[in-house]
Chains A and B, each alone.
Chain A
Amino acid sequence: MEKFTTVTGIVAPLDRPNVDTDAIIPKQYLKSIKRSGFGPNAFDDWRYLDPGEPDMDNRSRRVNKDFVLNQQPYEQAVILLARENFGCGSSREHAVWALEDFGFRAVIAPSFADIFFNNSFKNGMLPIALDANVVEDLFNKVNGKKGYQLTIDLASQKIITEEGDEIEFDVDEFRKYCLLNGLDDIGLTLNHADDIRAYEEQRKQSAPWLF
């Protein structure tokens, strides 16, 4: 997993509440058995005016020029700014893979759906929940200047604006540790293999029908 330490870059404003994972990556692309290559179809129904299918050449499709990620300079955005309940709906991790493949490293919103939030950390992507009025301020800044940039410093848990203001954010200790070091959860868990075996032995006594 890619480490997340400090990220600086353009913020794309996606001014909608309840952006669901069906919108982030429509179902026809979930047929892939790979983990990469979803970026060109991130937000497919919003980015294109005609329907898309896997393996289609997107250059032949009609682009929706009104959609924010089709406008310059947001094709280079690395931070996505959104409204409440971002990532609701299905558990598809393809949603995170699509955002990551597009180039995003962080999403800032007032709130996130639990599964999306969790999936993000497994892929070096940082979801940051901030008060709705702080998010509103950021929307004003970003809408006020195309190409507005933020810096996210995970170690100090701060977002630094272009004006030099600092916004603090919360993140779980354990998740922060894994992101900063790019650690693979499975390896960490297998360090506790003896504990897992001990638990199984005890459960075989107390609830043998589970084995």
Chain B
Amino acid sequence: MSGKTLYDKLFDAHVVRTEDDGTALLYIDRHLVHEVTSPQAFEGLRLANRQPWRADAALAVPDHNVPTDVAERAKGITDPVAKKQVEALDNNAREFGITEFDMNDIRQGIVHVIGPEQGATLPGMTLVCGDSHTATHGAFGAMAFGIGTSEVEHVLATQCLIQKKMKNMRINVEGTLGTGVTAKDIVLAIIGEIGTAGGTGYAIEFAGSAIRGLSMDGRMTICNMAIEAGARVGLVAVDQTTIDYVKGRPYAPKAELWERAVAAWSALVSDDDAKFDSEIMLDAASIKPQVTWGTSPEMVVAIDDTVPDPAQESDEVKSSGMEKALDYMGLKAGTPMNEISIDKVFIGSCTNSRLEDLQEAAKVINGRKLAENVKLALVVPGSGLIKQQAEQQGLDKIFSDAGFEWREPGCSMCLAMNADRLEAGERCASTSNRNFEGRQGQGSRTHLVSPAMAAAAAIAGHFVDVRNF
């Protein structure tokens, strides 16, 4: 019998019972809750007169709707509909005995940033959240995936989910990354390679020397966008980098329990003889800084490339999709990517709002100012604590001096549920994860890039190769 993959080990360790058709009842160790996908679930509990099975396994935080403007944060949410939703989370957390970091708590932030930051995300866990970017937490060797609201209610009521095992895919990124090339470029290159449905039905393990060489911040960026490759689950095996990150965090085990936990976590790797249903190799040295050009994350090219031509695509459905995307984006085939000018810049989101992301962006600025055609450039830290650390390092000053706005933590312009958004036709260099039509506001045009590439574009006023900037 061949060995087990990391995903198989995590799945098997959480099976409560299995039905004849292979459907398993899976135990969930950690449940992260935010304001947008939970109100109907709590309402469901109330209607059925049910209590949470284990309130201590849940952790709640508002992030999607919260204002990032410093003044608005201080005086409360102006949008009455958003305010009601955030208050509903506060009330539900109180009523059902769930710990919440409310809007004015220094620990508040994007749900996928605060889980790891607090040590609430631990290796070996099953972790869910009503949010597709829950894959982020897989960077810790945890089985983490996004769920819908019915499943949020299911986990609250039973601490379990009904699941079937996914298939296993391993993506090996070997070698050394070039200067100026980051985790974001790796994951965009992967999505460009396998497509946005390439990982559908799979749990993807990211492996290889280039992945092992990444910090936890970088690994989280990679796993975060597993969903943009179609996979609900992204994983990185546990190693010393993982253990060092978790140690000493508020929710991490202490003393004797820490020793036991570390011993158990060392087994959270795929066995040497484990079999994967699909395996993909990528050469790290060949990856260049990436920029998306269309309305799907798979519509991506290297910065030194040009906007692709739909006429060159033989698949009719794809070709017509490309034409629609170019039309929406207001781009012409053949335009060099570094000639595309931008209106706004967004540095933030659960993909790229961690300290390392902010450091990489700040480094690029190097005393320069925003280009004149850039109307607005936002820097939105992933959490209150990251904001504080960045300020201690003087990053806020670097950004403000250059003309960026330094904001309060939240999801912000990644999905534009709050006031941070693009106007119709505006073009944005964004470190977020989705370039869908209307994602950053109706008629918005999003180009996904790394924090370093976004900072460079902000200074240049157009996309530019950060390697020679």
List A residues at the B interface (Cβ < 8 Å).
Answer: 16-18, 20, 22-23, 26-28, 30-35, 45, 51, 54-55, 83-85, 88-94, 96, 111-115, 118-119, 122-123, 172-174, 185-186, 189-190, 192-193, 195-196, 199-200, 203, 206-211
Q: How far is A94 from B149 in the complex, measured between Cα atoms in Å?
A: 8
Cβ of A170 to closest chain B Cβ, rounded Å = 12
CB contact list, B1-54 vs A, under 8 A: 16-17, 19, 21, 23, 25, 27, 29, 36-37, 39-40, 43, 48, 50, 53
Contact between chains at B434 and A203 (CB < 8 Å): no
Contact between chains at A123 and B16 (CB < 8 Å): no
Cβ of A84 to closest chain B Cβ, rounded Å = 6
Contact between chains at B132 and A115 (CB < 8 Å): yes
Cβ of A178 to closest chain B Cβ, rounded Å = 9
Which of these, A27, A85, A93, A199, contacts B16 with CB under 8 Å? A199
Given A18-B321, A207-B124, 8 more pairs with CB closer than 8 A: A18-B296, A22-B437, A27-B417, A31-B36, A33-B43, A93-B148, A113-B200, A195-B17
Q: How far is A123 from B153 in the complex, measured between Cα atoms in Å?
A: 13
CB-nearest residue of chain B relative to A190? B158
Q: B365 within 8 Å of A by Cβ?
A: no
Contact between chains at A119 and B148 (CB < 8 Å): yes
Contact between chains at B201 and A85 (CB < 8 Å): no
Contact between chains at A196 and B85 (CB < 8 Å): no
Contact between chains at B197 and A88 (CB < 8 Å): yes
Contact between chains at A123 and B150 (CB < 8 Å): yes
Residue among A27, A35, A199, A210 with most chain B CB within 10 A = A27
A26 and B438 in contact (CB under 8 A), knowing A185-B154, A199-B27? yes
Q: B245 within 8 Å of A by Cβ?
A: no
Residue-by-residue, is B318-357 near A (CB-CB < 8 Å gives 1, otherwise 0)? 1001001000000000000000000000000000000000
Which of these, A115, A174, A200, contacts B162 with CB under 8 Å? A174
A17 and B317 in contact (CB under 8 A), knowing A22-B436, A92-B37, A196-B158? yes
Contact between chains at B19 and A186 (CB < 8 Å): no
Contact between chains at A45 and B442 (CB < 8 Å): yes
CB-nearest residue of chain A relative to B88? A33
Q: How far is A20 from B81 in the complex, measured between Cα atoms in Å?
A: 24
Residue-by-residue, is B278-318 near A (CB-CB < 8 Å gives 1, otherwise 0)? 00000000000000000010000000000000000000011
Contact between chains at A195 and B150 (CB < 8 Å): no
Q: B160 within 8 Å of A by Cβ?
A: yes
Chain A contacts for B39, CB-based, 8 A? 33
Residue-by-residue, is B57-86 near A (CB-CB < 8 Å gives 1, otherwise 0)? 000000011000000000000010110110
Q: How far is A30 from B85 in the complex, measured between Cα atoms in Å?
A: 9
Chain B contacts for A193, CB-based, 8 A? 158
Q: B371 within 8 Å of A by Cβ?
A: no
User: Interface of chain B, helix or strand or loop or mixed?
Assistant: loop
Q: How far is A114 from B132 in the complex, measured between Cα atoms in Å?
A: 10
Chain B contacts for A174, CB-based, 8 A? 19, 21, 23, 162
Task: Count chain B residues whose beta carbon lies closer than 8 angstroms to a beta carbon of A.
Answer: 75
Chain B contacts for A89, CB-based, 8 A? 132, 434, 436
Which of these, B164, B317, B442, contacts A83 with CB under 8 Å? B317
CB contact list, B339-386 vs A, under 8 A: none
Q: How far is A172 from B163 in the complex, measured between Cα atoms in Å?
A: 11
Chain A contacts for B424, CB-based, 8 A? 51
CB-nearest residue of chain B relative to A132? B317
Which of these, A33, A123, A172, contacts B21 with CB under 8 Å? A172
Residue among A20, A33, A55, A92 with most chain B CB within 10 A = A33
Q: How far is A85 from B321 in the complex, measured between Cα atoms in Å?
A: 13
Which of these, A18, A20, A35, A206, contacts B40 with CB under 8 Å? A35
Chain A contacts for B148, CB-based, 8 A? 91-93, 96, 115, 118-119, 122
Q: Which of B168-176, B256-264, B393-401, B459-467 contacts A (4 or more CB under 8 A)?
A: B256-264
Q: B157 within 8 Å of A by Cβ?
A: yes
5 intermolecular pairs with C-beta atoms under 8 Å apart = A54-B81, A84-B197, A90-B434, A96-B148, A210-B29
Contact between chains at A51 and B442 (CB < 8 Å): yes
Chain A contacts for B93, CB-based, 8 A? none
Contact between chains at B230 and A196 (CB < 8 Å): no
Contact between chains at B260 and A209 (CB < 8 Å): yes
CB contact list, B128-155 vs A, under 8 A: 130-132, 134, 146-151, 153-154
Chain B contacts for A186, CB-based, 8 A? 48, 50, 153-154, 157-158
Q: B196 within 8 Å of A by Cβ?
A: yes
Contact between chains at B436 and A23 (CB < 8 Å): yes
Cβ of B110 to closest chain A Cβ, rounded Å = 14
Cβ of B414 to closest chain A Cβ, rounded Å = 10
Chain B contacts for A91, CB-based, 8 A? 37, 130-132, 134, 146-148
Which of these, B79, B147, B154, B159, contacts A196 with CB under 8 Å? B159
Chain A contacts for B434, CB-based, 8 A? 20, 22, 89-90
A31 and B50 in contact (CB under 8 A), knowing A23-B437, A45-B442, A85-B197? no
Contact between chains at B442 and A26 (CB < 8 Å): yes
Q: How far is A30 from B130 in the complex, measured between Cα atoms in Å?
A: 13
Cβ of B342 to closest chain A Cβ, rounded Å = 21
Q: B416 within 8 Å of A by Cβ?
A: yes
CB-nearest residue of chain B relative to A20? B436
Chain B contacts for A20, CB-based, 8 A? 296, 434, 436
Cβ of B45 to closest chain A Cβ, rounded Å = 9
Contact between chains at A113 and B197 (CB < 8 Å): yes
A209 and B253 in contact (CB under 8 A), knowing A35-B40, A115-B146? yes
Contact between chains at B232 and A209 (CB < 8 Å): no
Cβ of A164 to closest chain B Cβ, rounded Å = 28
Chain A contacts for B438, CB-based, 8 A? 22-23, 26, 45
CB-nearest residue of chain B relative to A34? B40
Q: B439 within 8 Å of A by Cβ?
A: yes
Q: B122 within 8 Å of A by Cβ?
A: yes
Chain A contacts for B157, CB-based, 8 A? 186, 189-190
CB-nearest residue of chain A relative to B81? A31
Chain B contacts for A118, CB-based, 8 A? 147-148, 151
Contact between chains at B321 and A16 (CB < 8 Å): yes
